[in-house]
């Protein structure tokens, strides 16, 4: 039976450009996001009350209006990363570090090292291994030698860190006496200088260690002049510390983190602004956005 109108169409002449199959354009290679440098892959922030951000807040927008959001040092470190989604930042701190540094220090270091960190930020880890009144052998500190022996216990914990390590030195916190500290918890100026000498000596022989100059920073802040860190300049009398003269405010945590950036800009790290933001206003906006609706 002949069905009209259904003749088989002639095979296309592939030599005819008009009938040839369109060429298949090779797929573009997938766009691979540039990873953060290895040192920023897994950041462990470990320490005492400054690490956990005691009393520090930033205003953020919420469904209930503006509210004060508590923050930790790890939150600010994360906000300093230009691409925070490509790094893991963990916090390992304890408000009660001061009560027993010889117990809390090893425990927190265990937690930090369990994350297999590529960078350890231990800004206030050593603080209560020099300040405070807990003697190494138990009881209360009675002499300067007790504080030096206590520091050695803190350094022994830091010795466990094989990756890049940022630590703080000992600032003068005597203004907190009668508020958050007793006179017996504060080293004398001479002892504090000896503690800092030992920290510098220890760090000098360990190329992976950098000291964040807390002492110099707070001395400059208390001098009543403008404070410059990186590209940011804080006006005179900026409130880096809370009224207790011991714990950093949110501005203080921002400043501490910018001090970290300064160290990470230097060799052997040499991390550029492609990875770390040293504009405090931008860091603050990124920080607020992390907690926003």
The upper half-sphere exposure of residue 270, i.e. CA atoms within 13 Å in the direction of its Cβ, equals 2
Closest among 167, 162, 229 to 196, alpha carbons compared: 167
19 pLDDT above the threshold of 80 = no
- Given the candidates 3.40.50.300, 3.40.50.150, 1.10.3720.10, 3.40.50.1110, the CATH classification of the domain at 38-291 is 3.40.50.1110
12 vs 196: CA distance, rounded Å = 86
224 vs 228: CA distance, rounded Å = 13
Identify any residues that bridge with 228 across adjacent strands, giving them in sequence order.
233
Average of per-residue pLDDT across 85-104? 96
Q: Which SS3 state, helix, strand or coil, does residue 122 take?
A: strand
pLDDT range class, residue 26, cuts 50, 70, 90: very low
120 vs 89: CA distance, rounded Å = 10
Scanning the chain, the segments in alpha helix (DSSP H) are 73-80, 101-113, 144-158, 189-204, 214-222, 250-265, 280-291
pLDDT range class, residue 27, cuts 50, 70, 90: very low
14 pLDDT above the threshold of 70 = no
The upper half-sphere exposure of residue 183, i.e. CA atoms within 13 Å in the direction of its Cβ, equals 0
Give the orientation angle of helix 250-265 with respect to helix 214-222, to 10 degrees. Answer: 130
Whether residue 203 contacts residue 210, with contact meaning beta carbons closer than 8 Å, is answered with: yes
202 pLDDT above the threshold of 90 = yes
At residue 9, the pLDDT reads 39
Contacts of 189 (CB under 8 A, 6+ apart): 172
pLDDT range class, residue 117, cuts 50, 70, 90: very high
At residue 131, the pLDDT reads 98
pLDDT range class, residue 16, cuts 50, 70, 90: very low
pTM: 0.85
Average of per-residue pLDDT across 19-25? 42
Contacts of 2 (CB under 8 A, 6+ apart): none
At residue 272, the pLDDT reads 87
Listed by start position, the domains of the chain span 38-291
Which of 21-25, 37-41, 82-86, 146-150 has the least mean pLDDT? 21-25
13 vs 7: CA distance, rounded Å = 18
Average pLDDT along the chain: 88
Whether residue 121 contacts residue 210, with contact meaning beta carbons closer than 8 Å, is answered with: no
14 vs 195: CA distance, rounded Å = 85
Which of 83-92, 240-249, 281-290 has the least mean pLDDT? 281-290
Q: What is the pLDDT of residues 142-173, one digit of tens each?
A: 999 999 999 999 999 999 999 999 999 999 99
Peptide bond into 251 cis (omega under 30): no
Average of per-residue pLDDT across 185-190? 97
Q: What is the pLDDT of residues 240-281, one digit of tens each?
A: 999 999 999 999 999 999 999 999 999 888 898 889 988 888
Question: Could you tell me how far CA 165 lies from the centroid of its own chain?
Answer: 11
Q: What is the pLDDT of residues 31-53, one digit of tens each?
A: 334 556 889 999 999 999 999 99
């Amino acid at each position: 039976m002949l069905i009209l109108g259904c003749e088989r169409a002639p095979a296309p002449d592939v030599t005819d450009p008009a009938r040839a199959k369109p060429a298949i354009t090779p797929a573009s290679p997938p766009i691979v996001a540039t990873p953060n440098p290895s040192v920023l892959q897994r950041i462990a922030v470990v320490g005492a009350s400054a690490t956990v951000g005691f009393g520090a807040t930033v205003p953020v927008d919420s469904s209930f209006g503006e509210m004060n959001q508590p923050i930790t040092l790890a939150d600010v470190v994360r906000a300093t990363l230009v691409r925070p989604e490509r790094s893991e930042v963990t916090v390992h701190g304890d408000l009660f570090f001061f009560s027993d540094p010889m117990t809390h220090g090893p425990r927190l270091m265990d937690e930090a090292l369990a994350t297999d960190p590529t960078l350890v930020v231990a800004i206030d880890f050593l603080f209560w291994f020099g300040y405070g009144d807990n003697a190494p052998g138990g009881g209360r500190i009675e002499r300067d030698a007790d504080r030096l022996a206590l520091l050695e216990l803190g350094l022994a914990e830091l010795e466990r860190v094989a990756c890049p390590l940022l630590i703080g030195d000992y600032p003068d916190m005597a203004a907190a006496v009668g508020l958050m500290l007793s006179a017996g918890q504060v080293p004398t100026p001479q002892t504090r200088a000896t503690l800092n000498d030992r920290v510098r000596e220890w760090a000098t022989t360990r190329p992976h260690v950098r000291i964040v100059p807390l002492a110099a920073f707070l001395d400059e802040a208390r001098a009543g002049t403008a404070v410059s860190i990186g590209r940011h300049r804080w006006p005179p009398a900026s409130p880096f510390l809370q009224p207790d003269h011991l714990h950093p405010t949110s501005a203080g945590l921002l400043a501490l983190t910018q001090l970290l950036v300064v160290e990470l800009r230097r060799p052997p790290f040499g991390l550029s602004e492609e990875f770390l933001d040293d504009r405090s206003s931008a860091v603050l906006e990124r920080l607020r956005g992390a907690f926003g609706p």
